[in-house]
Amino acid sequence: MTTAPGLLRERELATALEAQGYFADEGLCTAIHLALRLGRPLLLEGEPGVGKTEVASVLSRVTGLDLIRLQCFEGLDSGQALYEWDYPKQLLQVRVAESRGQAVGDLYREEFLLRRPLLRAVQAERGAVLLIDEIDRADSEFEAFLLEFLGDFQITIPELGTVRARTPPIVVLTSNRTRELHDALKRRCLYHWIAFPEPDRERAILRTAVPGLAEQAAEGLV
């Protein structure tokens, strides 16, 4: 069932997350709630394995919106994240036009555009949940490409103009803090550090993840 995220109260949000098997503490629930209400990107940091990436996945299930994932890595550029032009298709158009003695026409139309995760998120009619995973693994220069998108949920394509989101996406960024992120990026996001869960919450996670797990085994794992 699709839920309008901005209409959920904080307690209702926590219940909806738990129904999907995600046990968020009060601080994380507050951060998610504010991000949804204010329409701001949410930047999550924490040690590997604390559930940063899963936040986006569970929000996709709670809201019924598509999950779009951008996995960051060293050398990631705007063409892989935003958009690029389909050069083979453009070249084919040129050859077909020449063979027919026709004018080539405009080669920078939407039909020649390859939509990458950020552009897909902006153009999603119903909105989407966009996960920008492990942003700290990308080069620091890549963050500059994100600023327009994170600030206004829009992308400027020089040949076509500015594409604005009709329905702003829910954006979740994650970082393992392998490097410090730029202040300009942080200012565009709400921030939360996810700590390791306390014992009671970890037991609840284990009971959900491994149904039928013996209590003694659960205690040992905790």
Residue labelled with tokens 């949920």: 153
Chain segment 82-140, per-residue pLDDT in tens: 999 999 999 999 999 999 988 888 899 999 999 999 999 999 999 999 999 999 999 98
Using CA atoms in the order 5, 152, 115, 144, what is the torsion angle rounded to 10 degrees? -120
User: Is residue 3's pLDDT more than 60?
Assistant: no
136-150, 175-189, 193-207: which has the minimum mean pLDDT? 193-207
The pLDDT assigned to 57 comes to: 97
Residue found by looking up tokens 């507050």 in the block: 30
Region label for 142, one of left (φ > 0), alpha (ψ between -120 and 50) or beta (otherwise) = alpha
Domain spanning 25-77+117-208: which CATH class is it, in words? alpha beta
Q: What's the pLDDT band for 78 if we cut at 50, 70, 90?
A: confident
pLDDT given at position 144: 86
Structure tokens belonging to residue 184: 């300009």
CB neighbour list of residue 221: distance below 8 Å, 6 or more residues apart: 202, 206
Per DSSP, what are the bridge partners of residue 18?
none
Which pair of tokens denotes residue 10? 């904080």
- Above pLDDT 70, what percent of the chain? 90
Mean pLDDT in the chain?
Answer: 89
C-beta neighbour count of 177 within 10 angstroms: 11
Spans of all domains in the chain: 25-77+117-208
**Residue whose entry in the numeric block shows the structure tokens 């949940």:** 129
Q: What is the pLDDT of residues 151-178, one digit of tens each?
A: 999 999 999 999 999 999 999 999 999 9
User: To 10 degrees, the CA torsion angle through 12, 15, 19, 22?
Assistant: 120
Q: Given the DSSP bridges, would you call strands 190-194 and 42-46 parallel, antiparallel or unpaired?
A: parallel
Half-sphere exposure of 138 (CA within 13 A, CB side): 24
Predicted local confidence at residue 4, as pLDDT: 55
Tokens 């085994």 correspond to what residue? 217
